[in-house]
Amino acid sequence: MKKKRLELTWIGKDEKINLEPRILIEDPEFSYHAEKKYSEDDIFDNRLIFGDNLLALKALEEEFTNKIKCIYIDPPYNTGNAFEHYDDGLEHSIWLNMMKPRLSLLKNLLKDDGAIFIQINDEEMAYLKVLCDEIFGRRNFITSICVKMSHLSGVKMSHIDKKPPKIKEFILIYAKDKEKIRFNPIYEKAKWSDVFDRYKSYLVKDENEPNDISKWKVIPLREAAINQNIDPNNKEEFEEFCIKNADKIFRTARNRSKQFEELPNDTVFREIITPTGMKKLVYKKEEVLFCIDKMKKVDGKLSPVRPMGDIWLDIGINNLHNEGGVDFRNGKKPEKLISRIIEIITDEGDWVLDSFAGSGTTGAVAHKMRRRWIMVELGEHCYTHIIPRLKRVIDGEDQAGISSTVGWKGGGGFRFYKLAPSLLEKDKYGNWVISKQYNAEMLSEAVCKLEGFKYNPDKNVYWKHGQSTENDYIFVTTQFVNQQLADDIADQMKEDETLLVCCKAFNVNQEDFPNITFKKIPQSVLEKCEFGRDDYSLNVENLPMMEKEPEQIELFDEGDVE
């Protein structure tokens, strides 16, 4: 008996989508880069793709499989509300059918040590969790973050008699491989008194010989504040003084290593080197712990911190409408939220992907943080919102959001792509033919993708259009291939090379060419995928109406019941 696993089922789940691996065509009119380099680390190979995001993810698969370090998506929440820029009212099964193939492709693009962050609200969170368990594996579930995303406004409070007002959203985090992932720790600001109450000593160095350890002195922290006209009882003033002088404030902790026990009693300060090669400062036989080592930069400022958990209350949305210089009601996410997500899992130069780009926050933030990024968007706001926003970032004009925190001045660029049309179209007789919009280069690249070859034309050998292995090549042509042309190619081939020829027609004796395979196009590719479909968005407006089921026959008329 076949072992069954626990899984979520819904109408249409098992319907397979055989996607066409489209090629991407750059549109230089909308690509953009800074007029000058701001640093050697400026990144120009970012990508903004206009088109259906399922087809776009399939188009990226060949080049970016196992290369994306961080994926953030903010898919439609299925709330039943018709948002201005996209339809957010999909029935549960339709919504799951939209998400499943996209998540499967996103998993393929993730690096082994990468992670995906999916923002969602209550409507589909439980379904999404089970779906992600199935796709990514339950063992690769990291956690769910609860984020405060709105305030208790008057409108929300007016409905409090029906249910508690909704002010939170969730971010589900999954790893590609939990064993290989490494997260960068994140912190939140804390009050000085909550974190550093044990730090009560202040180091005073000799003004003339500050590096002479033997002349260092220690005074109480409160006395040091008073000496600088700071009132220790004024909490705000005292905390500001402590943060400013964090490199001089310390406490001590007993260290049981033999090195510490053997120190002479008459030494106040001493620097020792541990067996592992670390330098440590000692005060009266105890290890000195400076509070500066327990502080981190939060929002660009050095602050007392504590590790952040899975409830984020500090994102703040008061100035959200100003970020990016674009209005995107009910859809824009705070730059601080996206920057925290990117910070958790990536380092500078890593790839970040958002296939539901919306107003373009992910790309804008990744750009400012010097990460490489890819965004996909189908709506017209790709032109009206995202492109203008990114231009302002690149030109250094966007100083909202996280700009001041990361010291953003401008630089870099992006390339704008559109999905190529389907390779095949039907002629007036209903026969599949190669699209008239394809030139020779586009045709060659598209057929390479369909046949599993990497498009890489050889400048010196006209018939080498791509490779699948070191010695396996492909040649794509609309020419009629005859015996003479095949002979010419065979004469140029090395003994260990093989070749796939894809052409409109051929007339050769195939037995004469054991290292060459001949295929006709489009006939040879017809069964490889679904051609001619450009929209997988599953917008409910495009769906046919379900036929009504016959009404149940009543056993009794109302008048017959006594």
* CA 313 – CA 278 distance, rounded (Å): 38
CATH of domain 424-542: 3.40.1350
Judged against a pLDDT cut of 50, whether residue 107 lies above it is answered with yes
Compute, in degrees rounded to 10, the torsion defined by CA atoms 148, 150, 154, 159: -70
Q: What's 386's DSSP letter?
A: I
Give the residue among 353, 350, 387 at the shortest CA–CA distance from 370: 350
pLDDT in tens, 164-188: 888 899 999 999 999 999 999 988 8
Paired with 170 in beta bridges are 120, 146
pLDDT in tens, 318-356: 778 888 888 776 678 999 999 999 999 999 999 999 999
pTM: 0.85
The CATH 3.40.50.150 portion of the chain extends over 44-185+310-419
Q: How confident is the model at residue 547 (pLDDT cuts 50, 70, 90)?
A: very low
pLDDT value of residue 156? 59
pLDDT value of residue 546? 44
% of the chain beyond a pLDDT of 70: 90
pLDDT in tens, 21-62: 999 999 999 999 998 888 888 899 999 999 999 999 999 999
The CATH 3.40.1350 portion of the chain extends over 424-542
Distances (CA, A) of 533 to 51, 90, 221, 429: 12, 20, 71, 19
pLDDT value of residue 538? 56
Residue type, 205: K
Q: Which fold has domain 44-185+310-419?
A: Rossmann fold (3.40.50)
End-to-end CA distance of the chain: 55
CB contact set of 510 (below 8 Å; sequence gap of 6+): 516, 518
CB contact set of 491 (below 8 Å; sequence gap of 6+): none
495 token code pair = 């003994």
More confident residue, 254 or 403: 403
pLDDT in tens, 514-534: 999 999 999 999 999 999 999
